[in-house]
């Protein structure tokens, strides 16, 4: 337990780095898709997408998972502190799946396979924010609140709807 605080510090820093990629990569996808006719621009964005995922995002995700697993191994009593840790781990699984989905989209865009719109990626970019709010809420309060969870999901569903709804024509 002597090194637990250092492991926690590393875990938080790795999580922050992972979140930086999760917040920024979908924004790059928006630029990529919305400027696909500008070949030179797209080639630069492809390099940025590759580097942020491979050099920052994926290593930070694995560092977050490894340091989190090590903390759980060193302090298994945390599972007896309430449902919040289970909720955090479930949300973290969604975050990992989301991270892998970004790699799938990155590879599609790298091959000039444009199946999604800029509007889709704007909406998709909201998901890691929602998931990180849930994780931070559970960790800070050390509790699981069904109401907090439902309100957070509903808020982001509304934001997603507002992003995806067709814009009215101005006459």
pLDDT tens profile 22-80:
999 999 999 999 999 999 999 999 999 999 999 999 999 999 999 999 999 999 999 99
Whether 9 is in a domain gets the answer yes
Whether 90 is in a domain gets the answer yes
Whether 76 is in a domain gets the answer yes
Whether 171 is in a domain gets the answer no
Whether 170 is in a domain gets the answer no
State the DSSP code for 119. H
Whether 169 is in a domain gets the answer no
Domain membership of residue 30 as a residue range: 4-164
- Residues 6 or more apart in contact with residue 36 via CB below 8 angstroms: 42, 112, 114
Q: Compute the mean pLDDT over every residue in the chain, rounded to the nearest whole number.
A: 94
| CA atoms of 151 and 145, how far apart (whole Å) | 10
Q: Is 32 annotated in some ligand binding site?
A: no
Question: How many domains are there within the chain?
Answer: 1
Q: What integer pLDDT is reported at residue 97 of this predicted model?
A: 98
pTM value > 0.95: no
Whether 79 is in a domain gets the answer yes
């Amino acid at each position: 337990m002597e090194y637990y605080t250092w492991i926690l510090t590393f875990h938080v820093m790795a999580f922050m780095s992972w979140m930086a990629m999760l917040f920024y990569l979908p924004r790059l996808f928006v630029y990529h898709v919305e400027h696909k006719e500008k070949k030179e621009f797209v080639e630069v964005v492809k390099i940025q997408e590759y580097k942020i995922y491979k050099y920052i995002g994926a290593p930070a995700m694995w560092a977050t998972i490894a340091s989190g697993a090590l903390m759980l191994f060193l302090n298994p009593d945390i599972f007896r502190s309430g449902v919040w840790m289970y909720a955090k781990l479930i949300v973290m699984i969604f975050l990992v799946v989301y991270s892998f989905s970004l790699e799938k989209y990155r590879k599609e865009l790298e091959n000039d396979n444009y199946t999604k719109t800029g509007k889709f990626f704007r909406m998709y970019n909201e998901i890691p924010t929602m998931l990180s709010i849930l994780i931070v809420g559970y960790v800070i309060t050390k509790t699981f609140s069904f109401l907090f969870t439902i309100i957070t999901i509903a808020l982001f569903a509304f934001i997603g709807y507002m992003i995806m709804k067709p814009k009215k024509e101005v006459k």
